[in-house]
Structure 1
Amino acid sequence: MKAFLILIDSLNRHFLPCYNPDSRVAAEHLTRFSEENITFDSHYVASAPCMPARRDIFTGRINFLERNWGGMEPFDVTLINTLREHGIFTHITTDHPHYFEIGGENYCQMFHTWNFERGQEGDVWVSRVKGSDIPEPHYGKVNNQNQLNRLAYTKEEEYPTPRTFRSACDWIDSNRGADDYFMMVEAFDPHEPFDCTENYKELYPDTYDGPYFDWPSYRALDEETPEAMEHLRNEYSATLTMMDHWFGRFIQKLKDTGIYEESLIIVTSDHGHMLGEHGFAAKNFMPAYQELVHIPLLVHLPGSAYGGKRIGSLTQNIDLMPTFLEYFKIETPKTVLGKSLLPVIPHDTPFRDQAIYGWFGKAVNVTDGTHTYFRAPVSEDNQPCFTYGAMPTTFLQYWDVKPGDYEAGAFLPYTDYPVFKVRFRVEGHYPECPDGLDYVRENLLFDIRSDPHQNRPLKDEALEAEMIEKLCAALREYQAPPEQWERLGIESCSGRK
């Protein structure tokens, strides 16, 4: 048996023709994959951004309720280790640099073998003492290391994401005749900075002649003109199209070798990306709008069963681990709280009543597929709020632990492994967005059927009460730390245990 997880970073579903027929983006290979296979229409993240999302995928649990960005924990029961215990060979090829920075520990190292294609974002790859020239003037971010890295790839096939898909094709060729394996192919593109060869940019011409701009800052839009934002969307679209081309090359390799028809193949993303919607760019600091959390999910079953089918049931990325395990006929560990997607496919049977999602220490958000509700912290200092973990790292740094801020003990309900319980501080935690929690101080309620772009917040106390009950039900189901109810001001939520 063979299975593949193709994870594409920062994939905004509104840019994909298979989800938005009005999209002008060329993504023919993802479109064809959708037409030939199963498309899930109501699929959501649980935790965001990058590493929290991956911990969700690998553990079948929701990360953001108990900790921020960080490595795999030593007590985590993971998809990869479970597969290995049952004789399934595992391999990952990726150009995602955060795996190899502080805060990305223990992810790739779980696999039997792994391959890292260098050069994305700030990957410390090309080494120059002097540094690089920074384009001036510019909007958003420009990173010296990234400018150096770009010197190393001048042809399309030399770019990191094309190299990632090429390495995946090479792995298939090197393992002809092999069986019982799981392969993860992970493309960093179209994650920012949006960088690709000119032939793809020519597909999205514009007349923009302003400051250099292919990497938005993590803040509300300010100086960027409408023309600049249209240019940024074109840069994103071009990078997406380049990724799609090489995705298609890999899928064709699977077809040419006969592997496609006999494999489970799941294609999804970790989260979306804002490109001017609601006056924002990037991610992480704004409300959890659909552009960020409502993500693509495409599934190929062996023999192309149910080709062209669309699934409306509400699903999340925590459901991927039990899906792969059921496919390999492996019992799902008790720690896993996601559910296999395989039983829902034949008849699109109801799957879950609600899904919660968000960023650690910010609003906790819930959807039932018809409405979304963003529940904000009630106190100015966002307390009580604690980070739990044995890996004291977060994005590019170690935890900033002050005296009196921490305890150690067996605080998590699903493991006896001792962890730190550390008071979470807003100040200094969001270096890219000094506004911290400023944009998530308000509870927001939307009807996403009549208002899919979430432009018209509702004021409906009865409906809000219903969504609070669903939020509380999900918090109980996913074993949220007890202080979450107090932090969100819902201590009186009925049925709390």
Structure 2
Amino acid sequence: MTNIIVLLTDQQALHSIGSYGSGICQTPNIDALAADGIRFTHAYTPCALCTPARASLLTGLYPHKHGAIHNTGTHLPFTPELIGQGLAVYPSTMQESGYQLGYAGKWHSGIINSAHDAGFTGYGPPDYGNCWESSEFEQYLRNNNLKRPEKILEFYAEGNPQYGYGDASGYVDGAIEATPSGFLTNKTIELIDQFSMVDRPFFMMTSFWGPHAPYLPAADFADMYNPQEIPEWDSFSDDLRNKPYIHSIYRKYIFPGAASSNWEVWSKVVSRYYGFVSMIDYQIGLIVQHLRDKRLYDDTLIIFASDHGETIGIHGGAFDKGAMAYEEVYNVPLIVKTKGNHNAGSTNHDFVSLLDLPSTFCDLAGSNNQSSHGKSLVPLLDGQGTNGREHLMSQFHGHRFPVAQRMLWWDKYKFVLNFADKDELYDLDKDQYEMDNLIDRSECSEVIDECKHRLLISMDEVDDTLGPQARHLLEREI
């Protein structure tokens, strides 16, 4: 069995990675993993929200099945301890197969309280986990004679500083090592050293709090990008005409500070976001270099991914994620550097999902994950053709207020079923930035019917709780 390391970022847009086409944001260490591994171009999150996506990463199940359909927190209309009871999770399988389990970073899974409760050694506090205020982070700063950096805030997406810094942008005036990213890198290296002393394989997940807002790169990375050299997004002029009304609500009322800002303001926010990405990339480089120094790199399978993407100003100043089901939010990076660097530098265009990762972990551990909605990626990693997946579904159950959506990717099209709003259809080959909703075009009727048919099949296959409602809405239209 091989050692496995998962490097998971939080809310990272695909366009912020060099190997995925960014001509501005520098990610040399992520790009190096792509050069040594396999880059997936059509990887999607099962839900563009932290808790549902992370619970799916634990179980391989869609959110309607594991039950954590919203972000965890005491203000939510469900009781987290009642969610996910009796579900199989991959850490148990890995432990039974003899793996040592390590975790460092954001947990926020909803179905299990903390990484420790799931069987991991390391640091994975309950719920979202505010690393800045944790005793472990404070102890780390003291042990390494690091000064706690000051947060310098410049932009508030909600338009008012009184809401705190959670949706803000700026930088921290301090050393790279004195950030949560530096702390997690240090913890990861400690665990690798600990595990390498035992004659058993290890599974290590490092889950960075970033580049999720607040966008707070360290000073050395904060001014890495000149805002004037960041071109305006192609979709920034979108007036949302012929789009679902919920898009306007999210853009205008949830984050008014973001929606009312022009590109001059947004370009500076994006520059901070890119600085945050490059800072995390730097930390990834330290982890990879440590593996090389320990002579573990070649024999370790490394996965780089993000739980979901980020709007970061697209479509007229949208912020965060939510019911705007654009590619920047759902299409996620996925890079796999295999043991022995098999198929190095290759690109895979199959439809794959983060749901596939738990089955992949179990497959690598020599066990089957029969309950998963995903498929193991191991055959693709071994170069054994395609996975045979002609279409792929994702879900959304609401964020900040209830919204029901189902997304389907098929061929070059994306169809979005908005249960209480206008549906969407985009030709992603001709309309990369999803400016033109084709749902009312008569010439697209056959494509729309086919998408609806495939979506109903996908929902039936996983016993989707909204299947009957979807069938009622769609079959009368087909």
TM-score normalised by the chain length of structure 2: 0.78
* Equivalent position of 1:316 in the other structure: 353
Supply the AA of the counterpart residue of 1:32: A
The alpha-carbon distance between structure 1 residues 30 and 488, as it changes in their structure 2 partners (threshold 3 A), is farther
3-state secondary structure, aligned to 1:324: helix
Aligned: 1:336 with 2:341: no
- Deviation at 1:468? 0.3
Structure 2: which amino acid aligns with 1:53? Answer: A
Task: Tell me how far 1:98 sits from its aligned partner.
Answer: 4.0
Distance of 2:129 and 2:91 partners within structure 1: 26
Calculate the aligned-residue CA RMSD, in Å: 3.2
Pairing 1:64-103 to 2, within 5 Å after superposition: 64=64, 67-69=68-70, 70=72, 71=80, 73-94=84-105, 96=106, 98=108
8 Å contact kept, 2:303–2:336 = yes
Q: CA deviation at 1:283?
A: 3.2
Deviations 1:17-41 (A, max 9, x none): 1111x52001111111111111011
Per the TM alignment, residue 116 of structure 1 is displaced from its structure 2 partner at its CA by: 4.1
- Structure 2 residue runs without a partner (length 5+): 73-79, 136-149, 230-251, 398-402
Are residue 265 (structure 1) and residue 306 (structure 2) matched? no
Once residues 17 and 342 of structure 1 are traced to their aligned partners in structure 2, the CA distance between those partners, rounded to angstroms, is: 25
Q: Structure 1 pair 266/73, CA: closer, same or farther in 2 (3 Å)?
A: same
Q: Where in structure 2 are the equivalents of 1:343-492 lying within 5 Å?
A: 343-345=379-381, 346-360=383-397, 361-378=403-420, 441-458=421-438, 459=441, 460-481=444-465, 484-486=468-470, 489-490=473-474
Structure 2 residue identity aligned to 1:447: D
Deviation at 1:453, TM superposition (A): 1.3
> Which of 266, 271, 287 is the matching residue for 1:250?
287
Of 169, 180, 193, 1:160 maps to 180
Do 1:58 and 1:321's aligned partners in 2 also have CA atoms closer than 8 Å?
yes
Q: For the residues of structure 1 that align with 2:164 and 2:267, how far apart are their CA atoms? A: 25
Deviation at 1:218, TM superposition (A): 4.5
Q: Where do residues 15-414 of structure 1 align in structure 2 (5 Å cutoff)?
A: 15-20=16-21, 22-64=22-64, 67-69=68-70, 70=72, 71=80, 73-94=84-105, 96=106, 98=108, 105-116=113-124, 125=133, 138=156, 140=158, 142=161, 144=164, 154-178=174-198, 179-206=200-227, 218-219=254-255, 221-332=258-369, 334-345=370-381, 346-360=383-397, 361-378=403-420
Structure 1 residue 103: deviation in Å? 7.9
> Any idea what the Cα deviations from partners look like across 1:413-435, whole Å, max 9, x if unmatched?
xxxxxxxxxxxxxxxxxxxxxxx
Query: In structure 2, the residue corresponding to 1:244 is in which secondary structure?
Result: helix
Inter-partner Cα distance in structure 2 for 1:189 and 1:288: 20
Partners in 2 of 1:476 and 1:39 — Cα distance? Answer: 30
User: Structure 1 residues 133 and 199 mapped into 2: Cα distance closer, same or farther (>3 Å)?
Assistant: closer
Contact conserved, 1:284 with 1:359, CA < 8 A, in 2?
no
Alpha-carbon distance between aligned partners in 1 of 2:253 and 2:174, rounded to the nearest angstrom: 26
* 8 Å CA contact retained: 1:48, 1:64: no
What letter is aligned with 2:28? E
Task: Give 1:481 shift.
Answer: 1.5
The CA distance in 2 between the partners of 1:217 and 1:258, in whole Å, is: 52
CA-to-aligned-CA distance 1:438-477 (integer Å, 9 cap, x gap): xxx2111011122121122222111100000110111011
Equivalent in the alignment of 1:411: none
Greater shift, 80-89 or 62-71, is seen at 62-71
Higher helix proportion (structure 1 or 2):
2
1:7 match: 8
- The alpha carbon displacement at 1:249 in A equals 0.5
Q: Check whether the contact 1:126–1:152 (CA below 8 A) recurs between aligned residues.
A: no
2:248 corresponding residue in structure 1: none
Deviation of the 1:122 alpha carbon:
5.4
Q: Deviations over 1:9-58 (max 9, x none)?
A: 111011211111x5200111111111111101111111231110011111
Structure 1 unpaired stretches of 5+: 209-215, 379-440
Structure 1 residues 195, 39: CA separation in 2 closer, same or farther (over 3 Å shift)?
same
Give the secondary-structure state (helix, strand or coil) at the position aligned to 2:117: helix
Separation of aligned partners in 1, 2:354 and 2:476: 30
For 1:189, give the aligned amino acid.
G
- Go from structure 1 to structure 2 and tell me whether the alpha carbon gap of 1:88 and 1:223 turns closer, same or farther (over 3 Å shift): same
CA distance in 2, matches of 1:291, 1:371: 15
Q: Secondary structure at the match of 1:338?
A: coil
8 Å CA contact retained: 1:344, 1:351: no
Deviation, 1:300, is 1.1
Identity %: 20
